Chain A
Amino acid sequence: MTTVAAPSRKVNLIGLEKTDYKGLDSTLCSGCGHDSISAQIITACYELGVKPESVVKLSGIGCSSKSPAYFMNRSFGFNALHGRMPSVATGALIANHTLQAIGVSGDGDTGSIGLGQYKHMLRRNVHIVYIIENNGVYGLTKGQFSATADLGQELKYAGRNELPPIDLCLEAVIADCGYVARSFAGDPKQVVPLLKGAISHRGTAVLDIISPCVTFNNQDESTKSYAWGKAHDERINDFTYVPPQEEIKVDYEPGEVKEVTLHDGSKIVLKKLDNSHDPTDRQAALRLLEEAHQEQHFITGLIYLNGDRPSLAEHERLGAPLVHLPEAKLRPPKDSLEKIMAGMK
């Protein structure tokens, strides 16, 4: 996998240093996968030159949902309710569709209490990077199984998990989400370009990132552990993210690559390898996820990509952000009320 290297200077495209993207010190357990993801968010936003003030960070409740405090202090944050971040994000992005939203959730927050809101956010195609920091376990309440825990998994607190997991990527593809990826917190080289592509996507971009819980679910035999992830990570494709207005510098032979242009003009350049997955093929994406589910394969990479569906704000035909409307545009004129009143006589 190749990433276009950021310019080797101390400031990015908009003149900010990387420290301008930092957050507060993390209060999560030392070695938590979530902190690694926060670091990759900082890297991706810094390298892309995303303006921190234009970003809103939203989360639900849980360990994952604490993490927006640990990246990008100059961005507005909202630690909402357990499982209900999608609705808050939906409203915020209707109010101001020019904001770049980064949502951070967990497997309990998305897969259990928030499954309904997750699916409806996907259905509406809310313009948000939706990260699921997936560790298969409830951390803050000390070790219950989540709905993504694998069948047969054992935990000290909860015993053996007898129920099949919910695959949140599969749910996303089924719901016609146009950007679905799975990755591993222990693989920053894959997470960063996936994040960049997600930021460029037109609607909801789902990143299901396996993020080991070092305290409750990091035994070597756990499918959500560092050891398991490192040993079993199967990359399904090789791609490069090319920002808008930047030339493709990667050196491939003609016919070796497939380009997909994203909504903001950036490109995903996919390298065609033998047996590699083509993320623009929805049926292939569904098949891939189903097989991985059956075989308990840990596949990572870009699973599905389709920028055809308009975002919710586009669907709602919004122009100027609603929050910027002056009073004259908020309150219809007096004669319009008089006309309505005359019609009620």
Chain B
Amino acid sequence: MTETAAATAKAKRSWKDVDLRAVAPFVALALLLVLGAFANPNFISVDNLLNVLTRSAFIAVIAVGATFVISAGGLDLSVGSMVAFVASLTILFMNSGVVSDPMMTIVAAALLALAIGAACGLANGLITTVGRIEPFIATLGTMGIYRGLTTWLSQGGAITLRNPEVQSLYRPVYFGEIFGVPFPIYVIAITAAIGAFVLYRTRYGRHVVAVGSNEDVAHYSGIPVSRVRTLTYVIQGLCVAVACLIYIPRLGSTSATTGLMWELQAITAVVVGGTALRGGVGRIWGTVCGAFILEIVGNIMLLSNFVSEYLLGAIQGAIIIIAMLVQRSLVRKT
């Protein structure tokens, strides 16, 4: 583009300059809400919507972490297995009775879950940065490892929270409400708010986007590229741990199939939310919106009689492709 062209193009700044890619997911969400209301009047009720948002919490929280990894040009396929692994170890710890007081058991278990999540993420990060293995391959490997360890821990069966006192104390973390809003929705909001602050406002966030945008430029600018990348995986691990903490009280048990295919849903949420899979652009609120879209589509299918709910996976697969096509057609023409 020539300088003169740039100068004149800039003179008129209007609503046309709004980056459509950033707005698209929210428009899609609004359209879905309208569509859902037509499909079944019950859909648009506050109860149903709160219920849907609550159920999207696991994917939304995990996807906030995935936004960091993907913005920095990485990928983490292991998050679904990591959920199973972290949740299983956490339940085993609570069952072990190492801490006698039920409240302290939960607090200690939460800290343990965060530590394990961070450690799992750190392992992913170090394998890709220090080990210099493509993130796709590295996390494909750890995906198998975390899943396999879970199967081994559970001996092929289920790992169930057995202490009734802990159970009843822990239950409200998923089923409880504050001011009529289910607790998991607060968890989404807080996680996303922290994520948005870190990604948009802090030096580290700027570095994440710079590394994803062009690793060489970041390196030549004195940014510790490997450390920045590794930390994105640790953030992902922490988000997985948070998701586990609201997952455990829901069913009170884990098995070898816990979190199956969640990595795909998380990546879908991130991409639908407008984050570029090649890195360099991250949109936290878009990601949360993407997670809602996924859950709402499922809910609409359940409430309407148009499509069999067994086709859910196929529909979600189609969504990711459509989202990419929309993103491409909305590329800013500059």
- Tell whether A and B belong to one assembly: no
Interface residues of A (CB under 8 A from B): none
